[in-house]
Amino acid sequence: MATPAAKIEKMLADAKAKQDGGEAGNAAESLDVLTGPQKAAVLLLALGSEWGQPVWNELSDDEVVSVSVAMSELGNVTNTMTQALLTDFVSKMSLAGALLGTTSSTEKLLSEYLPPDRLQVIMEEIRGPAGRNMWEKLSNVQPAVLANYLKNEYPQTVAVVLSKIASEHAAGVLSLLPDEFSMEVVQRMLKMGSVQRDVLEKIEHTLRSEFISNLSQTRQRDAHELMAEIFNNFDRQTEGRFLSSLEESDWEAAERIKTLMFTFEDLTKLDKAAIQLLLRNVEQDVLLLAMKGANEQVRDLFLSNMSERAGKMLRDDLEVMGPVRLKDVDDAQTKMITTAKDLAAKGDIIITKSGGDDELVY
């Protein structure tokens, strides 16, 4: 008996043959014979263990079983099928956010099928940051955002909140509060005994209704930004293959994604101070591999921001360095990009793609 993968592969081939012969046909339509779990299985196989792990973590036990069963029955999954599925996925995500929905529309739909108590629990998970309870959710909120909210609360309330979240996160929040206010909070925390359950529940309710629900309104992400982030994690060959396919089916979406992607060449937009800071945070072997595959403009820019001695050593190492695998070069350049983004997230550097209104701060 033919596997699901073999069946869909034949349908894709038939659809392509129709297109080549001038008949009306669309390979993407052939994907409709796959079930949702089968499509998810193919995409998770393509993502692999490292990039697929966050997706697996979000699935319920029943969903994991459903996708796993579909995966075990797929059979051989070719590049053609994977490419067709991802292209179809990206194209649908780019349809003016039609597949994203909103919190209100999701709640309205679920209310038709779920009892009120279960609906409330699920919507709390949707509205708030990741976490099994309120305090875990707060630990996933950026310290600056949480501090900006708490500075308007009573010191005793803030003391309770900071005593319930992770200590390292509490330290970050406390350091961002006004000096006099933060010392008042510290005093309250030092004198605080056990907190009555009804007080704790009242604080949780206030945080959930006033803070977490409002925070969720700023968490929506553009589909193209999400896909640009995914494409940034592809190796160069995979990235080129998917972009080429997407350009054929949805040229505007492909161009939007390319505009949002941050590439190794974009590091040339960093100022001298940022480049020098980046160099200090990149391991020498990673820098050597990254420069091996860099064009002359990028290589000269980094060499010009190194000391004369360090620059000469790098040039000498590059000259005697033999052939290296493209994958190793891609991995090294990706590590440099990731380091630059980490530095930008800390506020140490500013990343730009073309300056002015197009400035990107990660």
Q: What is the DSSP string of 32-96?
A: GGS-HHHHHHHHHHHHHHHHHHHHHHHS-HHHHHHHHHHHHT-----HHHHHHHHHHHHHHHTTT
All domains of the chain in start order, with CATH: 4-93 (no CATH), 103-216 (1.10.220.30), 262-360 (1.10.220.30)
Residue 59 near residue 37, CB atoms below 8 Å: no
Pairing of strands 359-360, 351-352: antiparallel
Global model pTM greater than 0.85: no
Residues 90, 258 contacting (CB under 8 angstroms)? no
Joined together, the tokens standing for residue 212 give 């977490």
- Position 31 scores a pLDDT of 64
pLDDT of residue 254: 83
- Give the span between the Cα atoms of 213 and 218, in whole angstroms: 10
In sequence order, the 6+-apart residues with CB closer than 8 A to the CB of 51 are 230, 233
For residues 83 and 246, what is the distance between their CA atoms, to the nearest angstrom? 9
* Each residue's pLDDT expressed in tens, for the chain with a length of 362 residues: 555 556 555 555 555 555 444 433 444 455 666 788 888 888 888 877 778 888 888 877 778 778 888 888 777 767 777 777 777 777 766 554 444 455 566 666 677 767 777 776 666 555 544 445 667 777 777 788 788 888 888 888 888 888 888 888 888 888 888 888 889 989 888 888 777 777 777 887 777 766 665 554 444 455 677 677 777 777 767 778 888 888 888 888 888 787 777 778 888 888 888 899 999 999 999 999 999 888 888 888 899 999 999 989 999 998 898 888 888 888 888 888 888 878 877 778 877 654 444 444 43
Residue (of 78, 22, 93, 71) closest to 241 by Cα position: 78
Residue 81, token pair as written in the block: 């099928």
DSSP-assigned letters across all residues of 162-195: HHHS-HHHHHHHHHHS-HHHHHHHHHHHHH--PP
DSSP annotation of 29: H
Residue with token string 């900071």: 162
| Residue 21: how many other CB atoms lie within 10 Å | 8
| CB atoms closer than 10 angstroms to residue 160 | 20
Q: Which residue has the tokens 């004369």?
A: 308
H or E segment to which residue 352 belongs: strand 351-352
Q: 309-318 — which CB contacts under 8 Å span 24+ positions?
A: 314/287, 314/288, 317/288, 318/288, 318/291, 318/292
